[in-house]
Amino acid sequence: MADFEWFRSFVAIYRMGTVSAAAAARHMTQPALSQHLAALEAEVGEPLFIRRPRKMVPTERGIELYNQVAPAVDRLERTTSELRKGSRGATIRLGAPPEYFKERLAARLARCDERIIATFGKTADLLDLLADHRLDAVVATQHLSRRGLHFARLDTEEFWLVGGPGDALPGARDTPETVRAALEAQRWISYGEDLPIIRRFWLESFGERPGISASLIVPDLHAIAALVEQGAGISVLPSYLVERRVQEGRMRRLWTPSRPVQNEIWLVFRSVDRTDAAVSRFVRRLLARS
């Protein structure tokens, strides 16, 4: 009969990619962990990994077994951790964009009973970590298709076209055509070379992809807001990040489209965790405060 410790070691190897890294994560020696894997493979009756010089590559049977046992291993690990901590509550590993976490999530999480371990990153990367059971929930700015993940609407953000207090659109009248022409002559600051956020705003406002390039590429929305405020260029940013600056006169909203350009924010968790008490309680609490 398979020992639970074999499964813990198997999951660690699957996630860490090497026996040495998995042994370090589990605070075991490499020979002991290798024995666990060998015993489990003998029990299963076939190899679970292909041994490569620098990586353990899971076989089809290994992938199948991981998907079957990882949720159970995680639940038992969480239960064990909660028993050790007593009344301090469960641990939730939460992934989120850093800007949204600071501006919108921090206040909601301040009074949570759970112990929160935050991971920052882009939505696609965070969803991969969630699917791989390395996170328990993710705040996503995109609804990207991932098998086995459930998306619940958490929030709606609006995108504003903003510039510094001295910025304006020379010669622009209140028509999309004249505004677009004026915007094409501006100095732009973007989160990435493919103009994320700006591209979405442009498509919905003018019905076409932007024919502009950014003068500054800065992968941090807070830094972009600071640059805009200092007159380094214009950009499109979430309203929660710039609304107060506009009200205080530190920024100017340069143009408002006839229809607000909005984006849905999602709280994502694994479908199998609907029955996990800690995750489902955390999800319900966060959605109730949205």
Looking at domain 89-156+264-288, its CATH superfamily turns out to be Periplasmic binding protein-like II (3.40.190.10)
Q: Tell me the percentage of the chain whose pLDDT exceeds 90.
A: 67
142-157: pLDDT as tens digits: 999 888 899 999 999 9
187-220: pLDDT as tens digits: 999 999 999 999 999 999 999 999 999 999 999 9
Annotation: CATH topology of 157-263: D-Maltodextrin-Binding Protein; domain 2 (3.40.190)
The answer to whether domain 4-85 has CATH 1.10.10.10 is yes
Residue with tokens 């860490």: 16
Q: Which helix (H) or strand (E) holds 253?
A: strand 252-255
The residues facing 138 across adjacent strands are 95, 268
Tell me, yes or no, if the pTM score tops 0.75: no
225-254: pLDDT as tens digits: 999 999 999 999 999 999 999 999 999 999
The pLDDT of residue 81 is 60
The pLDDT of residue 38 is 94
**Mean of all residue pLDDT scores within the chain:** 90
Span(s) in the chain for CATH 3.40.190.290: 157-263
Task: Indicate the range of 68-82, 169-183, 267-281 predicted with least confidence.
Answer: 68-82
160-193: pLDDT as tens digits: 999 999 998 877 677 888 999 999 999 999 999 9
Span(s) in the chain for CATH 1.10.10.10: 4-85
Mean of pLDDT values over 104-123: 89
What b/e readout covers 63-99, taking b as 16+ CB neighbours within 10 angstroms? eebbeebbbebbbeebeeebeeeeeebbbbbbbbbeb
Give the residue with greater pLDDT, 24 vs 79: 24
Q: Are 163 and 254 in contact (CB under 8 A)?
A: yes
Span(s) in the chain for CATH 3.40.190.10: 89-156+264-288
